[in-house]
Amino acid sequence: MFVHVIALRILAYVLGIIGVVGTLLPFLKYDDWWIRGFDYPRQQLVVILLLSAVCWFLSNSSSDTLNISIGVILTLAALYQAYRIYPYTPLHGKDARAAMVLHDTSGHLTIMMSNVLQTNRRTDLVIDLVLEKDPDILLTVETNQWWEEKLAEGLAKKYPYRVNIPLENLYGMHLWSKIELINPEVKYRIKDDIPGIDTHIKLPNGREVDLYFVHPMPPSPTEAYASTGRDAELSLVGLQVKEREHRTAIVAGDMNDVAWSHSSRLFQRISGLLDPRRGRGLFSTFHAEYSLLRWPLDHVFHSSDLTVAGLERLPYVGSDHFPVLIRLSYEPQQDDNQGETPEADDLEEARETIQMGERNEDDAVIKNE
């Protein structure tokens, strides 16, 4: 019995330290990868902190103030982490409305996006899934020349309008469309080797839609030391959408960021776009092979005159990311301007972040949510 108590106490210490440190570090107002990295696993930290609290109470028979205080701190930290991810659960109200017009598809648009993993060789899984789901537009990232050629064998006839950016640096990007792409542009917003694609299309009902596809570099010890470049690119796109705020717009891609981070929330407030996952679920897309270490990195944001006819995380295609499919419907009659508006200093913060990103500077001071 004594050994069991000691084991529980040690487990409580280990889990508690991980959970509390992981909760406190994101409050530091810096963008270093080892700080911002703890923005990602909030749902895992909920479990870690709750387990720590349970182990702590089970291994402590004493009801002195210190023991109770430690247990309460662990519980409060778990509740805080749950609060941060709560909007992305079905318990929360939906930000983006459900589509009402299902019979008339002239205002519908289906987009599929897939980070294929450059070293993945299961092109058959990707092609078969695309043919099954039959999206109007397909975005693939981490696609090099080899991937371009293999995908073209199965998809070129079905998707005659394309933007090809084959790269060997894990940031290749290809856009495949059944609908004519109007004035497509390849954009290197922050890094000269990390592209994005801007274009617009015209739906069958005549409505024009602005499309922005991005794949910024993540903060990590193997890629970018800080999140500055990623945050700057998202801020740039957010400001661009804001400048054309009366246009129907969609921003999509592997943003290497989670929906509840400050940078994602800042992007939403600046752009005024909606996150269709809020009130629907996490739709965690990475890591596809580790179910206990999984969070949502692949995003679609859209203007409030679009409603959601469907949102799916698609099956495994051999990559470390699951693909995502969204069906949107242009329904301006449901547009009640439910998008967020910038807070007092959001625009100033965004511009400062952009300047630092363009100068390739790290250690930007950020605001907390």
Residue 124, domain CATH = 3.60.10.10
Q: Which of 26, 54, 88 is the last residue of a domain?
A: 88
Q: What is the pLDDT of residue 46?
A: 98
368 assigned to some structural domain? no
Tally of structural domains, the chain = 2
Q: Which residues pair with 173 in a beta bridge?
A: 141, 165
Q: What is the pLDDT of residue 228?
A: 94
**What is the greatest pairwise CA distance in the chain?**
74
Q: What is the pTM of this model?
A: 0.94
User: Would you say 130 and 138 are in contact if contact means Cβ atoms under 8 Å apart?
Assistant: yes
Can you tell me which residue has the tokens 């789901």? 133
Q: Tell me the angle at which helices 123-133 and 145-155 cross, rounded to the nearest 10 degrees.
A: 40
Q: Which of 332, 307, 303 is nearest to 99 (CA)?
A: 307
Burial 113-151 (b: 16+ CB within 10 A, else e): bbbbbbebeebebbbebbeeeebbbbbbbbbbeebbebb
- In terms of domains, do 47 and 109 share one? no
Q: What is the pLDDT of residue 334?
A: 83
- In terms of domains, do 153 and 28 share one? no
Identify the domain containing residue 83 by its residue range.
2-88
Extract the residue ranges of the chain whose pLDDT is less than 70: 1-3, 337-338, 361-369
Q: What is the pLDDT of residue 174?
A: 99
User: Would you say 91 and 118 are in contact if contact means Cβ atoms under 8 Å apart?
Assistant: no
- In terms of domains, do 83 and 111 share one? no
- In terms of domains, do 74 and 163 share one? no
84 assigned to some structural domain? yes
273 assigned to some structural domain? yes
Q: What is the pLDDT of residue 3?
A: 66
Q: What is the pLDDT of residue 366?
A: 55
DSSP 260-297: TSHHHHHHHHHH--B-TTTTT-----B-TT-TTS-B--
38 assigned to some structural domain? yes
Residue 224's φ and ψ, nearest 5 degrees, are: -105, 130
Q: Which residues pair with 209 in a beta bridge?
A: 201, 248
> How many Å apart are CA 298 and CA 21, to the nearest integer?
26
* Eight-class DSSP state of 216: P
365 assigned to some structural domain? no
User: Would you say 38 and 27 are in contact if contact means Cβ atoms under 8 Å apart?
Assistant: no
> How many Å apart are CA 224 and CA 352, to the nearest integer?
19
